[in-house]
Structure 1
Amino acid sequence: MDEAITLPVAELAAAYRRRDLSPVEVTTAFLDRINDVDPGLRAFVTVLPDTALLQAKAAERTFAGGEPAGPLSGIPVALKDAFHVAGSPTSLGSRVYEGLISKSDSGVVRRLRAAGAVFTGKTSTAEFGQSATSENLLGPETGNPWDEGRTPGGSSGGSASAVAARLSSVAVGSDGGGSIRIPAAFCGIFGLKTSPGLCPDEKGFRGMTDFVGAGPMTSIVADARPLLGILAGRDYARREVPRLRIAYCARPEGRPVDPGVARAVDAAASQLAAMGHDVVHTDLPLDGWNDVFGPLVLEDEHRERGHLLLRHAEELTRYERSSLRAALALDPASVARAHELLPQYRMRLAALFSRFDLLLTPASAVPAFPHGERPARIDGQEVDQLWGPFPFAVPFNVAGVAAASVPCGFTEGLPVGAQLVAPAGAEQLLLDVSEDLEEALEFDRLAVVSRWSRATVPAP
């Protein structure tokens, strides 16, 4: 079972079909690992052993009877605590909703359930997804599996941490301003931000509505294919990649980047060139994204959660209170202007793809940093406390395109992510290039798993 928890999705499914492995035994192994490891990691807000075992038993009956199995039948899936699972708590990372039981599955969960997935639990998130780290008032922040004293990023930090430490085969996150790609980069996993509307979460949580989408968070790119296929209702089988023209921007908008991060992403660019692609050093016209993002996110927060400031202010995180207060002071003219600028920004970025097939940037400006210690300076330059450590993800939410973080190396023992960006709807190309790059770079994704073995798990 120690080996089974590291198997890719396709190999796990094949072992189930051959009856070499049992979905119940594998699920039990993951639940035991969560029980042993998660007290020191805190990736999960709620573990769902009863639900998981019922789903695993159903999968086992399917395989035993030789019946057609769903694409994710018996595969353990962790869910960000922003998706509703019928009969289970959904806190949204907030003390206000702690213990609130969801009455029905939201759209993402419904599709995963129909595909035979096994729900290991709900993973920690920033309150209402409003931070690029994962701290909230429900308990200590989730640890990064590479160094539990550091942030896993956010807001899908619990999902990233769970996948990296192999507490679940795969996980689902959501990304409205980098919330999949930032924690994927910090935790050394693959994370994909999907194009707007590709993976709807019907009757689900609403936040960053103009920019957000659900997406897969996996140890390897191949595991993201069936997961995204279920979420999007499409087939993403691997295809051969032609020679591409790739725009590489090492420091978008001239922002500083940690030297170790820069070296790792430079190496990824060189690897793509060695694979035969035309990699062109290019400045990207990303300026102006916050003139759109800031007002529209605040407008959304005021509409969806403005009432909480009056009734539950003391139960909210500092950053959520700040957002809601800023929303109260928001100039309606800036909101109207943001709505006007959004399609213009998207047209400007879409024009890049008339010249390039893909874009390449760092996924973040720094590696994972200690809890509560956002860098004030990067490579000797002062940076904004809000976006300074991770300014390269959110422009592509505003642009409405597809983007992924691919592990590309290490700096001082911490993983680094390279961000690949594709036109809206080009998830197939993004997966194919990401998998080619992953194989070429040979990132050691299992190095951290042994660190969290039962014998060596750090004390909580």
Structure 2
Amino acid sequence: MAEDLHALSVAELTAAYRDRTLSPVEVTTSFLDRIERFDPELHSFVAVTRDLALGQAVEAERRYANGEHVDRLLGVPVSIKDAFHIKGVVTTLGSLVHQHQVAKTDSGVVRRLRASGAVFTGKTNTAEFGQSATTDNLLGPDTGNPWDVGRTPGGSSGGAAASVAAGLSTLAVGSDGGGSIRIPAAFTGLVGLKPTAGLVHDERGFRAMTDFVSAGPLSRSVADARVMLGVLADRHYQRSTPRPGLRIGYCASPEGRPVDAGVAKSVEAAARALEALGHQVVEIDLPIGDWNDVFGPLVLDDEHRERGHLLGQYADKLTRYERSALRAAQQLDPAAAQRASELMPVFRARVDDLFSAYDVLLTPTVAVPAFPLGERPSSVDGRAVDQLWGAFPFAVPFNVAGVPAASIPCGLADGLPVGAQLVSMAGSEALLLDVCEQLEEALAFDQSMVLERWSGSRNEA
């Protein structure tokens, strides 16, 4: 059993705790030992909070033993993206500038997870200030993908995703301002969900991509994501069966952008699976072509406001991509940011109109499988793409739209995971979770390959 603890779901863990067949301390110790053994190869954590985790596990064990009320994540190992503050722990934000900055309080996301009884295994690696869709910074080596450590897990929540995919935590909390939960979920074969704008607050937390960002779960199953989202949003999302005949708007290549053939095949299979479940799948175009007219100026304006001073004081401590963003922010015409603010409600209204005709939208999450570390593709399916967004252009429009969006694994391309992105109208997380879980069961994505790679019985190199 000890070798399989890393594969147990939230429901399985908490049930075993209740009937005393497993101990939160035993499980936490097992996860911490796995981190010590495997993370030197993955670099998913920037800090392991061993003493904190064991203290939380002891308290969870006491509460189970006393038959006290059980919170939803009591004793469950959860990793925390290093964009959220844990009191008494350094929050680096993926930057040398903050490598010694100890948080004085929990931010809102961490406070709710702590109140739910979660056990914090550590802080996971992130792109500097969340400003890249890969997880590389100047703090140390790039985070590797558990399916192939020479490839990226995506970003900016790449450490979070790697920690779950390799079984170093049961759940992870990430943040998504332009795809930073869904991109890593797609690249690592996980479920990742970005909630409706404003549903999950991170009071007294880090600010970046402020108009678009939200905390959300990364997990191996929709059921686990459902539990964490409920905690983060202070709600309960009970599963129900989606009514048959939902109208699914399927766009195989949003904006006509190229998609890797293997990715396209797997997402097409997801569309056909939804049809087999009794839903009406309609191929559509999406009116999202001007998303970057909103996103680009508002992100740069935010960076200039929050971190513009760093160029003068700490330029040598910043990544190339953060320096580039701050320099672009210096050149931003204030009128462009004002215009973007005016365009955002127009864009959101246009996307909202889609949901008068369709219950759910389906697209690829990303355009390619995970690529080698440091080698963003310059072409996709034989067509040239820009290196900034070419590999992952399909998530960010729904940050601009402010609607909930999830990625679930739907197959493999070249032996690497593929994600299908499902999107629903603002405030409809319950429907989105139900459709995702129904599709997840129909597709039955096989995670055994990656779980076996990081199993407790794995031979030492």
Contact persistence 2:131–2:156 (CA under 8 A)? yes
Is the counterpart of residue 380 in structure 1 residue 382 in structure 2? yes
Secondary structure of the 1:2 match is helix
> 1:28-67 maps to which residues of 2 (within 5 A)?
28-67=29-68
Q: Cα gap change, 1:145/1:355 in structure 2, threshold over 3 Å: closer, same or farther? A: same
Secondary structure of the 1:3 match is helix
How far did residue 454 of structure 1 move?
Answer: 4.4
Residue of structure 2 in register with 1:322 after alignment: 324
> 1:192-211 maps to which residues of 2 (within 5 A)?
192-211=193-212
Secondary structure of the 2:242 match is coil
Secondary structure of the 1:216 match is strand
Contact persistence 1:451–1:457 (CA under 8 A)? no
2:281 partner letter: V
Distance in 1 of aligned mates of 2:361 and 2:53? 39
Contact persistence 1:40–1:458 (CA under 8 A)? no
Distance in 1 of aligned mates of 2:357 and 2:370? 33
Is the counterpart of residue 3 in structure 1 residue 4 in structure 2? yes
Q: Cα gap change, 1:365/1:22 in structure 2, threshold over 3 Å: closer, same or farther? A: same
Residue of structure 1 in register with 2:144 after alignment: 143
Contact persistence 2:4–2:456 (CA under 8 A)? no
> 1:217-366 maps to which residues of 2 (within 5 A)?
217-243=218-244, 244-366=246-368
> 1:57-96 maps to which residues of 2 (within 5 A)?
57-96=58-97
Distance in 2 of aligned mates of 1:429 and 1:373? 37
Contact persistence 2:365–2:392 (CA under 8 A)? yes
Match of 2:451 among 412, 431, 449: 449
1:251 partner letter: S
String of CA shifts for 1:251-300, please: whole Å, max 9, x gaps.
00000000000000000000000100000000111110000000000000
How far did residue 456 of structure 1 move?
Answer: 3.4
String of CA shifts for 1:287-342, please: whole Å, max 9, x gaps.
10000000000000000000101000000000000000000000111111101100
Distance in 2 of aligned mates of 1:451 and 1:268? 26
How far did residue 457 of structure 1 move?
Answer: 6.5
Contact persistence 2:4–2:455 (CA under 8 A)? no
Distance in 1 of aligned mates of 2:289 and 2:28? 46
String of CA shifts for 1:355-391, please: whole Å, max 9, x gaps.
0000000000001000110000111100011000000
String of CA shifts for 1:379-406, please: whole Å, max 9, x gaps.
1100011000000000000001000000
Contact persistence 1:452–1:458 (CA under 8 A)? no
Contact persistence 1:346–1:399 (CA under 8 A)? yes
Residue of structure 2 in register with 1:17 after alignment: 18
Distance in 2 of aligned mates of 1:342 and 1:199? 20
How far did residue 99 of structure 1 move?
Answer: 2.2
2:192 partner letter: G
Contact persistence 1:142–1:158 (CA under 8 A)? yes
Is the counterpart of residue 191 in structure 1 residue 192 in structure 2? yes
Distance in 2 of aligned mates of 1:374 and 1:270? 30
> 1:386-401 maps to which residues of 2 (within 5 A)?
386-401=388-403
- In structure 2, stretches of 5+ residues that fail to align are none
2:116 partner letter: A
- Percent identity between matched residues is 66
Q: Cα gap change, 1:153/1:311 in structure 2, threshold over 3 Å: closer, same or farther? A: same
Contact persistence 1:190–1:217 (CA under 8 A)? yes
Contact persistence 1:40–1:457 (CA under 8 A)? no
How far did residue 450 of structure 1 move?
Answer: 1.2
Distance in 1 of aligned mates of 2:402 and 2:91? 28
Secondary structure of the 2:249 match is strand
Distance in 1 of aligned mates of 2:169 and 2:112? 18
Q: TM-score, normalised by structure 1?
A: 0.99
Residue of structure 2 in register with 1:100 after alignment: 101
Distance in 1 of aligned mates of 2:287 and 2:232? 31
Contact persistence 1:36–1:454 (CA under 8 A)? no
Q: TM-score, normalised by structure 2?
A: 0.99
2:331 partner letter: A
Contact persistence 2:250–2:282 (CA under 8 A)? yes
How far did residue 69 of structure 1 move?
Answer: 1.4
Distance in 2 of aligned mates of 1:458 and 1:42? 17
String of CA shifts for 1:192-249, please: whole Å, max 9, x gaps.
0011111100000000000000000000110011111110011111011012100000
Distance in 1 of aligned mates of 2:404 and 2:187? 19
How far did residue 70 of structure 1 move?
Answer: 1.1
1:289 partner letter: W
How far did residue 445 of structure 1 move?
Answer: 1.9
Contact persistence 1:189–1:445 (CA under 8 A)? no
How far did residue 4 of structure 1 move?
Answer: 2.0
Secondary structure of the 1:439 match is helix
Contact persistence 1:43–1:142 (CA under 8 A)? yes
String of CA shifts for 1:137-186, please: whole Å, max 9, x gaps.
00111000000000000000000011101100000000000000000000
Residue of structure 1 in register with 2:164 after alignment: 163
Q: Cα gap change, 1:193/1:458 in structure 2, threshold over 3 Å: closer, same or farther? A: farther
Contact persistence 1:369–1:375 (CA under 8 A)? yes
2:342 partner letter: E
Residue of structure 2 in register with 1:402 after alignment: 404
Distance in 2 of aligned mates of 1:105 and 1:178? 24
Contact persistence 1:253–1:286 (CA under 8 A)? yes
